[in-house]
Amino acid sequence: MRFLRQSWSVAAKDLRSEIRTKEALNASLSFSLVILLLFSFAFDPAAEQIRDFSGGLLWMVFAFAAALILNRSFARELENDCLDMLLASPVPPAALFLGKVSANFVLLMAVELIALPVFGIFYNVNWGMQAASLVLVTALGTWALAVIGTMFSALTVNLRLRELMLPVLVYPMMIPALMASIQLTTDLIAGQPLAGDSFLWLRVLVAFNVIFTALSVVFVDTVLLG
């Protein structure tokens, strides 16, 4: 109970300071719009086949835009050595970690839920047929991004090349989760319900989330305390 309250305090703190400055949020949002624009040069935006790779396009946007938010997550704590003060307080590192994951999850979802309809408009894709399932899949994929991204943000926070290292480490780690999210999103946008083969990918995504959330909670202590 106390664990959850402490997580909540950390999450609320992160969200409050991000909403106040909107630095990462604005950067991430405008970056995702730029990628959506660039895709229109990469292939014929009016083509019918766009549905076949809509999942890939969307998750490319989500994953790249996420880097800007995730980079800030622990870097934010470096100013004035706030990270030390958090670690010296009674908050367990796991609670600190889950608080930060939750804050990042909310911020990433906010960017994605804006980028998704914009994608629909730009590329004339009707994504609303299975909106509930699509949001569920987006949430699962975003949790994976938030967990891996926050963990690696903690891992790289004291490195000189922090901003460079994070994407280099995060994207290869994310491959199974991104594959599953891409497959599921493409199926849902094409109008196929979550059934049959889709369940396999849903299981991959859930398993990925469970495994790496657990591993992160176990190892975040080692990462943050030398």
Please calculate the CA angle 36-181-179 and round it to the nearest 5 degrees. 95
Per-residue contact string for residues 66-85; x = within reach of other proteins by CB under 8 A: -------------xxxx-xx
The secondary structure of 51-117 as a DSSP string is GGGHHHHHHHHHHHHHHHHHHHHHHTTTGGGHHHHHHHSS--HHHHHHHHHHHHHHHHHHHHHHHHH
- Give kind and range of the element (H or E) at residue 141: helix 131-156
**Positions in 104-123 near other proteins (CB under 8 A):** none
> Sign of the CA dihedral 78, 84, 89, 95?
positive
Q: Which of 81, 79, 104, 80 is nearest to 10 (CA)?
A: 104
Q: Residue holding tokens 């997550």?
A: 73
Instruction: Single out the segment in contact with other proteins by CB under 8 A; choices: 27-35, 65-73, 126-134, 176-184.
Output: 176-184
Minimal distance, residue 4 CB to other proteins, in Å? 12
Q: Considering only CA atoms, which of 171, 179, 212, 172 is closest in space to residue 198?
A: 179
Interface with other proteins (CB under 8 A), residue from 111, 180, 188, 189: 180
CB of 215 to other proteins, least distance (A): 6
For residues 14-73, which are near other proteins according to CB under 8 A? 16-17, 20-21
Tell me the window of 50-58, 105-113, 121-129, 196-204 that interacts with other proteins (CB under 8 A).
Answer: 196-204
Which residues of this protein are in contact with other proteins, per CB under 8 A? 2, 5-6, 9-10, 13, 16-17, 20-21, 79-82, 84-92, 151, 155-156, 158-161, 165, 168-169, 171-173, 175-176, 179-180, 183, 197, 200-201, 204, 207-208, 211-212, 215, 219, 222-223, 225-226
